[in-house]
Amino acid sequence: MKWLVTGGAGFIGSNFVFYMLDKYPEDQIICLDKLTYAGNLETLEGVMENPGFTFVKGDIADREAVYALFEKERPDIVVNFAAESHVDRSVVDPGIFLQTNILGTGVLMDACRKYGIQRYHQVSTDEVYGDLPLDRPDLFFTEETPIHTSSPYSASKASADLLVQAYHRTFGLPVSISRCSNNYGPYHFPEKLIPLMIANALNDKPLPVYGTGENVRDWLYVTDHCAAIDLIVRKGRVGEVYNIGGHNERTNLQVVKTILKALDKPESLIRFVTDRPGHDMRYAIDPTKIHEELGWLPETPFDEGIQKTIRWYLNNKPWWEHIISGDYQNYYEKMYGNR
């Protein structure tokens, strides 16, 4: 099987590449990534020489480049992780989110129609559902929950989901969509909550927490997410949406305090800062559908996963220190400059 994994130099995409190469060494993985600020080729250093892996630098919104890649590689499966994904950045500059997340998705599906594929899988987010009230812990997002977006980021992802469903209904494109809760684990970009808190705590810098830190997220260890996507692509029903949740709800403040305790750092490092506009209060996913249809359940409890994540950041300081310093953006030139 030949897989095209877009956004494979990012956090979840790279973990998916590692998962697939380990589990299915006979398969081929082509990774297409634009290497924006969040794409880091250093992340893929360990698989660059793997004969089953090929890296291609490119933009999913570049129709000519995408078609040329499909013409050459003829992938069987496309899994689209490529996305602008940071909510704060979408508030500052929505345009690039529309370009990549919506138009890029359309280009990929047009290529899939033109060259033929067995499955196109869209990696989405629970943020398309909006949020849930803090005083209703009995409420969860299901696949039937209406879309109700809060940010330009979530609106762009919801738009992409609707486009994917339209291509299935209009053109018969074999598609599936997964909507996941907040991921965490190795290679998470340091501007996100958990890696930012770890890096700042290790450097005895203030830990900025929005509002009062009471916003609740459902945390999903990234390897569990990769296993779910693999199952959906291979055994999930065409045209369906599957929610992937961790059953690991925590307030942002609880997460930060857990990290400080693990690193033996004082809670006095916490700094409450002005909340961002339209900040969703609570995300919580009901993964009943994927469990009943495909037998998937998350295997990693948060208390175990966060300790594994903290250990990874302690053992891989050069990786995130290069990002903080900006050196990681020179890695592509080092790798390919003389080729």
Active-site residue numbers? 126-127, 153
- DSSP secondary structure string, 325-339? HTGGGGHHHHHHTT-
How many other C-beta atoms can be found within 10 angstroms of the C-beta atom of residue 190?
17
Nearest of 288, 309, 291 to residue 300 by alpha carbon: 309
Give the residue carrying structure tokens 């490092």: 269
Checking 56-59 for CB contacts under 8 A at 24+ apart, the result is 56/30, 56/31, 56/32, 57/32, 57/33, 57/332, 57/336, 58/32, 58/33, 58/34, 59/34, 59/100, 59/104
Dihedral (C-alpha) 197, 84, 56, 20: value to the nearest 10 degrees? 60
User: Cα(153)–Cα(19) distance, rounded to whole angstroms?
Assistant: 27
The residue type of 1 is: M
User: Cα(111)–Cα(75) distance, rounded to whole angstroms?
Assistant: 10
Alpha helix positions (H), 150-287: 152-171, 193-202, 222-235, 252-262
